[in-house]
């Protein structure tokens, strides 16, 4: 299992509970990852629907937020596109297999082996669920 760091985040523990500050584990960057200090995170309808379990698929605790902009604060030793100090953005997915035909065509949203959502997705590194951007930092694959 990859080592983790606890960070402050805003999320909810139930559909009828308010967002509150909590600590969540973030995995440490691996060789192909960047770590982003989150500067801004948008709030959209899907964040609200997820927090309130309107689609009946939320796993709690839920940390919504997938319109993320921040500054790169760490890069893995295999990262080639970004460097510390660059700005980066994260959308609605944070990982994919990168080996299927769709991924090789930069169509990760159609990953044949399953893409990973920014939040409420299966965390393939730590197990459990992924947490979104209402937090101090996030670790994502560079691609």
The predicted-structure confidence for 80-126, as pLDDT tens digits, reads as follows 999 999 999 999 998 899 899 999 999 999 999 999 999 999 988 88
What does the mean pLDDT of the chain come to?
A: 91
49-91 tens-digit pLDDT:
999 999 999 999 999 998 999 999 999 999 999 999 999 999 9
Q: Is 96 exposed, middle or buried (0-12, 13-18, 19+ CB in 10 A)?
A: buried
Share of the chain above pLDDT 90, in %: 67
Indicate the helix (H) or strand (E) that contains 47. helix 45-51
| pTM for the predicted model, two decimal places | 0.86
pLDDT at 141 exceeding the cut of 90: no
CATH of 4-141 given 3.10.20.600, 1.10.8.60, 3.90.180.10, 3.40.47.10: 3.90.180.10
């Amino acid at each position: 299992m990859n080592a983790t760091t606890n960070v402050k985040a805003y999320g909810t523990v139930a559909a009828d509970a308010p967002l509150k500050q909590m600590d969540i584990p973030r995995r440490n960057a691996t060789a192909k990852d960047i770590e982003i200090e989150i500067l801004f995170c948008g709030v959209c309808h899907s964040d609200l629907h997820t927090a309130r379990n309107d689609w009946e698929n939320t796993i709690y605790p839920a940390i919504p937020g997938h319109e993320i902009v921040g500054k790169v604060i760490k890069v893995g030793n295999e990262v080639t596109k970004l460097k510390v100090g660059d700005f980066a953005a994260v959308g609605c997915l944070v990982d994919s297999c990168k080996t299927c035909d769709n991924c090789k065509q930069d169509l990760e949203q159609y990953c044949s082996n399953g893409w990973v959502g920014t939040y409420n997705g299966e965390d393939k590194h730590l197990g459990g669920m992924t947490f979104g951007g209402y937090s101090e930092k996030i670790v994502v694959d560079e691609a």
